[in-house]
Amino acid sequence: MAIHKLIIDDCEEANYELLAIHTSLEDYRLAYFVNQKLPVLFSKSEKQIQVISKIGKINFSKYSYSNTEKEEYWDLIQNKNEIIIQKKLATQNLFGNEEETTTTYLVPEFKKVDYFIKIENSEIDIESILTKINTIERISTVYAVDLAKIKSKNNLIF
């Protein structure tokens, strides 16, 4: 009887670029300004990115653009999300429950990053993209992320 072996590689080579953005802009405003500077047209995705943590299910906003002719896909992803947690107190209180705000991260290794742009299958010059995005007011900095430094790569699969 013949023996068949299936060898599954741990992970395929990542075929995307990841840009980190530090800004105080809201996600919809950032998408608008990026649409003006780059040859993309981000639109709000109906599906948010959902990550399960100790706190529960956490949703991160996502804006998407796809060019089906070139088979390239762009995603603008929120990295920080503030969640309000209701705490029940052991004793009765005039003011009821206590609320606590917790910040959660899509990619915890980069806690200072506000947004990521994930670019799949694109042959665009990353340096020119970084330069154009950096011209947007209220963006502190933008840079390419070394994918080898990310431990939570599974959060970027969607």
| Range(s) of the domain holding residue 32 | 16-156
On whether residue 148 sits in a domain, the answer given is: yes
On whether residue 8 sits in a domain, the answer given is: no
**Which residues lie below 8 Å from residue 63, measured CB to CB, with a gap of 6+?**
27, 31, 42, 43, 44, 45, 75, 76, 77
Token digits for 29?
């405003």
| Amino acid identity at 36 | Q
On whether residue 23 sits in a domain, the answer given is: yes
On whether residue 146 sits in a domain, the answer given is: yes
On whether residue 56 sits in a domain, the answer given is: yes
CA distance 134 to 58: 29
Q: How far is CA 85 from CA 5, 33, 103, 129, in A?
A: 49, 33, 11, 38
On whether residue 11 sits in a domain, the answer given is: no
CA distance 67 to 131: 22
Answer for the pair 19, 38: CB distance below 8 angstroms, yes or no: no
On whether residue 7 sits in a domain, the answer given is: no
Token digits for 99?
């609320």
CA distance 155 to 65: 19
Question: Each residue's pLDDT tens digit in the chain (158 positions)?
Answer: 677 766 655 445 567 889 999 999 999 999 999 999 998 999 998 888 888 777 778 888 999 999 888 888 999 999 998 887 776 666 666 566 677 788 888 888 999 999 999 998 878 888 999 999 999 998 999 999 988 888 887 777 76
Q: What is the pTM of this model?
A: 0.79
Answer for the pair 142, 132: CB distance below 8 angstroms, yes or no: no
On whether residue 81 sits in a domain, the answer given is: yes
Total number of domains in the chain: 1
